[in-house]
């Protein structure tokens, strides 16, 4: 019975990793659709989000089953509860990629981002994808150094997010109100994606150390 339980726990971990990989693909495609005004690619992201939602549902059902039937204790309980919380954050990251794709569809054939902000959004997207890929690495390796790399990337995204507000507040800003609103929304979606990545990283950190605040290795 114990061996079967450990196999089920391993399966839950594999499911989390698979969701993280799908989220990475979703953000990569969402940004390409956003930058290129590619509505076909945007539709792929929107459609694929239902698969992420279904995977989260399956994982949560499995985790709840383990809680109900196996009565895990100590570290095993922490792992099951952590998986439930991580799946929620990963699903939300998929939703945010879908929101970016939906902006592309809404403004097609025009691009969403005003020209002055295109390089900033590109940097935000690159860092978001890097966070998502590092989550996959973290889940597979449990290497705490990756947690701090994710934190650093998220801080950079936050700075870029703040910079967008600084840019649109300048007297020379000429984009239309609708375009400005889209830019603010898009920036928020990219920024929140990174925040949810940090949330997942913190939960993995807790599973490894039993503590929420880890200290970088000296």
Residue 99 lies in a domain: yes
Q: What is the pLDDT of residue 206?
A: 85
Residues across the chain: 218
Q: Is residue 168 part of a domain?
A: yes
In a domain, 108, yes or no: yes
pLDDT of residue 80: 80
What is the per-residue DSSP string for 142-159? --HHHHHHHHHHHHHHHH
pLDDT score at 218: 45
First-to-last alpha carbon distance for the chain, in angstroms, is: 42
Range(s) of the domain holding residue 144: 2-209
CA distances from 201 to 52, 76, 135, 148, 154 (A): 19, 18, 7, 9, 11
CATH of the domain at 55: 1.20.58.220
Rounded-to-integer distance, Cα 96 and Cα 98, Å: 5
Question: How many angstroms separate the CA atoms of 191 and 216, rounded?
Answer: 24
Task: Determine, yes or no, domain membership for 217.
Answer: no
Per DSSP, helices labelled H in 71-143 are 74-107, 118-141
Total domains, the chain: 1
**What 3-state DSSP class applies to 212?**
coil
> Does the pTM of the predicted model rise above 0.75?
yes
| Alpha-carbon gap, residue 106 to 104, rounded angstroms | 5
Q: What is residue 39's predicted lDDT score, i.e. its pLDDT? A: 96
Q: Is residue 215 part of a domain?
A: no
3-state secondary structure of 8: helix
**Residue 173 phi/psi, 5° resolution?**
-65, 125
Give pLDDT, residue 52. 96
In a domain, 147, yes or no: yes
Looking at residue 83, what is its pLDDT?
86
- Is residue 93 assigned to a domain? yes
Residue 214 lies in a domain: no
Low-confidence residues of the chain: pLDDT under 70:
1-6, 70-75, 212-218
Contact status, residue 164 vs residue 120, Cβ threshold 8 Å: yes
Q: What is the pLDDT of residue 57?
A: 93
């Amino acid at each position: 019975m114990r061996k079967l339980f450990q196999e089920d726990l391993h399966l839950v971990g594999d499911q989390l990793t698979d969701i993280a990989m799908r989220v990475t693909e979703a953000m990569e495609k969402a940004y390409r659709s956003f930058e290129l005004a590619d509505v076909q690619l945007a539709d792929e992201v929107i459609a694929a989000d239902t698969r992420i939602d279904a995977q989260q549902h399956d994982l949560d059902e499995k985790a709840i089953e383990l809680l109900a039937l196996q009565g895990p204790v100590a570290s095993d309980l922490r792992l099951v509860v952590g998986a439930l919380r991580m799946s929620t954050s990963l699903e939300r990251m998929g939703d945010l990629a879908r929101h970016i794709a939906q902006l592309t569809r809404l403004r097609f054939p025009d691009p969403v981002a005003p020209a002055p902000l295109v390089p900033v959004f590109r940097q935000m997207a690159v860092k978001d994808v890097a966070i998502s890929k590092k989550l996959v690495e973290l889940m597979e390796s449990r290497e705490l150094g990756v947690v701090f790399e994710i934190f650093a990337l998220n801080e950079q995204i936050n700075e870029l997010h703040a910079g967008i507000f600084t840019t649109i507040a300048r007297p020379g800003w000429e984009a239309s109100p609708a375009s400005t609103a889209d830019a603010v929304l898009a920036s928020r979606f990219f920024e929140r994606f990174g925040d949810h990545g940090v949330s997942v990283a913190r939960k993995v950190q807790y599973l490894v150390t039993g503590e929420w605040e880890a200290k970088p290795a000296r």
